[in-house]
Amino acid sequence: MSKVDSHVLAAWLDDTLQAARFKDYCPNGLQVEGRSEVGHIITGVTASEALLRIAVERGADAVLVHHGWMWRNEDRRVIGTRRTRMALALKNDLNLYAYHLPLDAHPTLGNNAQLARVLGLEPERRDDGTPRTCGPDNLVWLGTAPDLATVGQLAARIQQRLGRQPLVVGNPDQPVARIAWCTGGAQGMLADAIDAGATAYITGEASESTFHLAQETGVAFLGAGHHATERYGVQALGQAVAERFGIKVEFVDLDNPV
The single-letter code of the amino acid at 57 is: E
The Cα 49–Cα 45 span in angstroms is 12
Tell me: is residue 104 an annotated ligand-binding position.
yes
DSSP code for 21: G
Cβ within 8 Å of residue 36, ≥6 positions away: 5, 6
Where do the DSSP E strands lie in the chain?
Answer: 4-5, 29-32, 37-38, 40-46, 62-67, 95-98, 122-123, 133-134, 140-144, 167-169, 179-181, 200-203, 220-223, 248-251
Q: Is 208 annotated as a binding residue?
A: no
Q: Is 67 annotated as a binding residue?
A: yes
Q: How many residues does the chain have?
A: 258
Q: At what angle do helices 151-162 and 111-119 cross, to 10 degrees?
A: 110
Q: How far apart are CA 49 and CA 22, in angstroms?
A: 27
CA distances from 188 to 4, 6, 165, 191 (A): 39, 36, 21, 7
Q: What's the maximum distance between 2 C-alpha atoms anywhere in the chain?
A: 58
Q: Binding site annotation covers 226?
A: yes
* 66 belongs to an annotated ligand binding site: yes
Residues tagged in the binding site annotation for a divalent metal cation: 66-67, 104, 226, 230
Binding site, annotated residues: 66-67, 104, 226, 230
